[in-house]
Amino acid sequence: MSARSLVRSPVSCSAVNECFTYNSRRSRSFYQCSNTMKLQRPQVAQMLLPRKLRKSTRLQTSLFTQRRISSNCCSDLSTTYTEELPNYLAINVLQDQSDAKQENIRKVLVILNPYSGFRSSREVFYKKVQSTLKLSGFAMEVVETAYAGHAKELASTVDFSTCPDGIICVGGDGVVNEVLNGLLGRDDLNEALQLPIGIVPAGSDNSLVWTVLGIRDPVSAATALAKGGFTPIDVFAVKWIQAGVTHFGLTASYCGFVADVIQLSEKFRLQLGPFRYVIAGLLKFLSLPQYRFEVDYMPLSPERNPKPKSSNENFHDQLSDGSKVKRSTQMDGNTGDNWVTRKGEFLGILVCNHFCKPAQGLLSPVVAPKAQHDDGSLDLILVHGSGRLRLFCFFVAYQFCWHLLLPFVEYVKVKEVKIRPVGSTHSGCGVDGELLQAEGQPEWHCSLLPSQGRLLGRHPRT
Ligand SMILES: Nc1ncnc2c1ncn2[C@@H]1O[C@H](COP(=O)(O)OP(=O)(O)OP(=O)(O)O)[C@@H](O)[C@H]1O
């Protein structure tokens, strides 16, 4: 027999229920109408209970008796009084609460990348996160990735009825990117767009969750997930024009030095974990090539395009040619006649979707201070020129967030960017830590899909 029926049986009489069921609508007048009645209620309860239960009620009163202290502003009896609700009512309340929690169960798919960061994702999840999520009502199916691309495959094929409340990624920005691309490549795009992505940081950097949600440790991430809520985020698309291939991102896209460092760092992933970026950066710095690009960008003009629409139709417009972003589609319907062209040597080209705050590092600088994850624009940073001295200056200035003051750095809010490597410049383009390799002389086209992403959790300040 359940605890509930054991406790309820002695008080099944309707008169008693009438006396003791707390009714918020009538509580004040009903309980305050008679001083006598108010004082006698606990005694009546004792009388109606069987002898054994009366004793246990008295003994356990500190554990299960609810005290309701109400201020009395209209009665002449007292200014404050205490109602004692008998213990069985308190138990019923607890039981009802747990019933309600049953209904609030959130079913999610957890995708865990055991190779992220220091390869500690398993430990992070099972030791620091799982119990918090379970206690807060998450029903989780955990799948560990077995190979690169597995997370994308899972997100593109999962039956949404098994995880209607989202997909939680345990790992770095790369696994989040795979999940995003898996979801946005699906035929049932409407449902896929509704599915939020949760992040438990266990990767090398996790800049996305740190910048957007202000979280950089797994315990805080679990708390944010438990608290619930969503954060809308712009998604950007990088299309390799010649091949018609589109890759989506949430953080940043880049060409030049940073893309080369990402590519080289993969060689040291197993040996160095997150330190691979430092070593690859040093090596690339010492063997710095010249990068030549042609860049076209369409600046954001606030007076003509203050806030882009963020409806699903907009997204479908842009994907209507089979996951390929249409050239003609502008966020505000402009025909695209105000493109600005830059051509020459660049140390780097960065297209940021949020202000990109690295989770590691001592000074915690930000790459694009004016960028917001939901502002409907991309922030373009062009580092003009070439040479180690210039790169060194940029890097040092960046540590103090002065890099945008340098005369060879151009910073502009844009709607779209087209990037074409020129001459012998390599043809890779990075998106959220992943490198998209292309053959020949490719053209990359970055455009924005405003507020089409949803992250699980909210920034503590919102
Ligand atoms: N089982 C696996 N074996 C090998 N590679 C994997 C496996 N599972 C996922 N990957 C790949 O690992 C890459 C990096 O993963 P992830 O981003 O989670 O960690 P990270 O690179 O350490 O962190 P960050 O991206 O934040 O720097 C992803 O591109 C993914 O494709």
Query: Cα of 184 to ligand 1 centre, how many Å?
Result: 19
Q: What tens digit of pLDDT does each residue of 67-97 get?
A: 333 333 333 333 333 334 444 444 454 455 5
Q: What tens digit of pLDDT does each residue of 174-183 get?
A: 999 999 999 9
Q: What is the DSSP letter of 92?
A: H
**How buried is residue 95: exposed, middle or buried, by Cβ count under 10 Å (0-12/13-18/19+)?**
middle
- Ligand 1 pocket: which of 111, 112, 113 to mutate (most atoms within 8 A of CB): 113
Atom of ligand 1 nearest to the CA of 178: 31
**How are beta strands 106-112 and 167-171 bridged, if at all?**
parallel
Beta bridge partners of 140: 108
Query: What percentage of the chain has pLDDT greater than the value 90?
Result: 55
As a whole number of angstroms, the distance between CA 122 and CA 116 comes to 10
Query: Of 96, 159, 165, 173, which one is the catalytic site residue?
Result: 173
Query: Cα of 149 to ligand 1 centre, how many Å?
Result: 9
CATH 3.40.50.2300 is right for the domain spanning 237-456: no
Chain-centroid distance of CA 56 in Å reads 49
- Name the closest-CA residue to atom 29, ligand 1: 174
- Name the closest-CA residue to atom 17, ligand 1: 174
Fold that domain 104-228 belongs to in CATH: Rossmann fold (3.40.50)
Confidence label for 337 from pLDDT (cuts 50, 70 and 90):
low
Q: What is the DSSP letter of 236?
A: E
- Name the closest-CA residue to atom 18, ligand 1: 172
Domain with CATH 3.40.50.10330 in the chain: 104-228
As a whole number of angstroms, the distance between CA 86 and CA 53 comes to 11
Domain with CATH 2.60.200.40 in the chain: 237-456
Does residue 332 surpass a pLDDT of 70? no
Query: What percentage of the chain has pLDDT greater than the value 70?
Result: 69
What predicted TM-score, i.e. pTM, was given to this entire model? 0.73
Question: Cβ of 234: how many Cβ atoms within 10 Å?
Answer: 23
pLDDT score for 65: 33
Q: Which residues contact 144 (CB under 8 A, 6 or more apart)?
A: 112, 113, 114, 122
- Is 173 a catalytic site residue? yes
Does residue 1 surpass a pLDDT of 70? no
Strands (E), 202-329: 230-240, 245-249, 252-256, 292-299
As a whole number of angstroms, the distance between CA 106 and CA 142 comes to 14
More confident: 18 or 214: 214
415-427: average pLDDT = 88
Q: Quickly list H helices, 124-195.
A: 130-135, 150-157, 173-184, 189-194
Strands (E), 330-428: 340-352, 378-384, 409-421
Atom of ligand 1 nearest to the CA of 144: 1
ipTM of predicted complex: 0.95
Beta bridge partners of 331: none
Query: Cα of 44 to ligand 1 centre, how many Å?
Result: 66
For residue 278, give the H/E element and its range: helix 276-286
Q: What tens digit of pLDDT does each residue of 106-138 get?
A: 999 999 999 998 899 999 999 999 999 999 999
Does residue 324 surpass a pLDDT of 70? no
Question: Cβ of 440: how many Cβ atoms within 10 Å?
Answer: 8
As a whole number of angstroms, the distance between CA 350 and CA 259 comes to 10
- Ligand 1 pocket: which of 110, 111, 112, 116 to mutate (most atoms within 8 A of CB): 116
391-418: average pLDDT = 95
- Name the closest-CA residue to atom 13, ligand 1: 174
Contact (Cβ atoms closer than 8 angstroms) between residue 442 and residue 427: yes
- Name the closest-CA residue to atom 26, ligand 1: 172
Instruction: Give the binding-site residues of ligand 1, using a 6 Å CB cut-off.
Output: 113, 115-117, 145-150, 171-175, 178, 203-206, 433-434
Q: Which contacts of 1-6 are long-range, i.e. CB under 8 A and separated by 24 or more positions?
A: 3/91, 3/95, 4/91, 4/92, 4/95
Query: Cα of 182 to ligand 1 centre, how many Å?
Result: 15
Q: What tens digit of pLDDT does each residue of 151-179 get?
A: 999 999 999 999 999 999 999 999 999 99
Q: What tens digit of pLDDT does each residue of 219-272 get?
A: 999 999 999 999 999 999 999 998 889 999 999 999 999 999 989 998 998 888
pLDDT score for 420: 94
Residue located via tokens 């309707």: 14
- Name the closest-CA residue to atom 11, ligand 1: 148
Residue located via tokens 């199916």: 141
Query: Cα of 436 to ligand 1 centre, how many Å?
Result: 15
Encoding tokens for residue 275? 């330190």
Query: Cα of 148 to ligand 1 centre, how many Å?
Result: 7
Confidence label for 15 from pLDDT (cuts 50, 70 and 90):
very low
